[in-house]
């Protein structure tokens, strides 16, 4: 059974590989034998991930909000390496404001990266894999696709939108043996969540909300990515995999005396 998680001779592209969850995903795929192309809007960050992985990995610049960028990256990988087996999309941004205080420009920016950016990846990867007769696409959603809090309305809308696009593409490309799934992390310690960590009351409240009583480490997202990328998930498509420490499983606000 160990071999069904191996990714030897597979080509994987991770967009957002320069830090956090994307970096952890790229390292995890490489450790299972994949040849990984690390794409990020910051080339220096992607190069650092390649340095950690070692021989066989490549770095590339890509702006997920730019459809031409995404197309050039993925088509270029196919031209150089001959095939594209796995694509992982992790980038996301957030502007924490109530809807009444949201500026139209802020709305457009969050939509452009989170929702439209993921659309670019799904469309381009789906076209390539459909032509090749198979592959695995993994997009990152969030627990906010299911549950929300004040100040997260626009972000949550993008994350739930990602889930529905994933489901639609899974249905459309299932006959071509292309699997499409989403992962919904809970709270994860990454550079992007550092402002919350700097507020002990906020940080601890989030930790206590999960059943496990703590935040996730970025590397804990690598296992779910490897699973969905590998033959271990050969019959899994159109799914949303929660990796949230039990956040969405329990109310968490009060433990009644039993």
Indicate which residues carry an active-site annotation: 155
3-class secondary structure, 157? helix
Phi, psi dihedral angles at 224 (to 5 degrees):
-60, -35
Radius of gyration of the chain (CA): 18
Phi, psi dihedral angles at 129 (to 5 degrees):
-70, -35
Q: Are strands 188-189 and 216-217 parallel, antiparallel or unpaired?
A: parallel
Paired strand residues for 14: 38, 88
Per-residue burial over 53-73, b = 16 or more CB atoms within 10 Å of its CB, e = otherwise: beeebbbbbbbbbbbebbbeb
């Amino acid at each position: 059974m160990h071999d069904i998680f191996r990714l030897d001779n597979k080509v994987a592209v991770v967009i957002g590989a320069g830090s956090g969850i994307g970096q952890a995903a790229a390292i995890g795929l490489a450790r299972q034998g994949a040849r990984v192309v690390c794409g990020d809007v910051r080339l220096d960050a992607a190069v650092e991930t390649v340095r950690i992985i070692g021989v066989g990995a490549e770095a590339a610049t890509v702006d997920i909000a730019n459809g031409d960028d995404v197309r050039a990256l993925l088509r270029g990988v196919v031209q150089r390496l001959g095939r594209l087996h796995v694509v992982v999309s992790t980038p996301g941004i957030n502007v924490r404001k109530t809807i009444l205080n949201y500026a139209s420009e802020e709305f457009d920016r969050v939509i452009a990266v989170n929702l439209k950016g993921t659309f670019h990846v799904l469309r381009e990867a789906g076209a390539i894999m459909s032509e090749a007769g198979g592959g695995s696409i993994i997009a990152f959603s969030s627990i906010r696709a299911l549950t929300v809090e004040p100040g997260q309305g626009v972000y949550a809308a993008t994350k739930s939108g990602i889930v529905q696009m994933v489901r639609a593409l899974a249905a459309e490309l299932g006959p071509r043996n292309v699997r499409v799934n989403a992962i919904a992390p809970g709270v994860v310690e990454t550079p992007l969540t550092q402002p919350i960590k700097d507020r002990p009351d906020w940080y601890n409240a989030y930790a206590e909300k999960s059943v496990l009583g703590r935040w996730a480490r970025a590397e804990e997202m690598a296992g779910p990515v490897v699973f969905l990328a590998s033959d271990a998930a050969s019959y899994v498509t159109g799914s949303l995999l929660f990796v949230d420490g039990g956040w969405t499983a329990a109310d968490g606000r009060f433990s009644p005396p039993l």
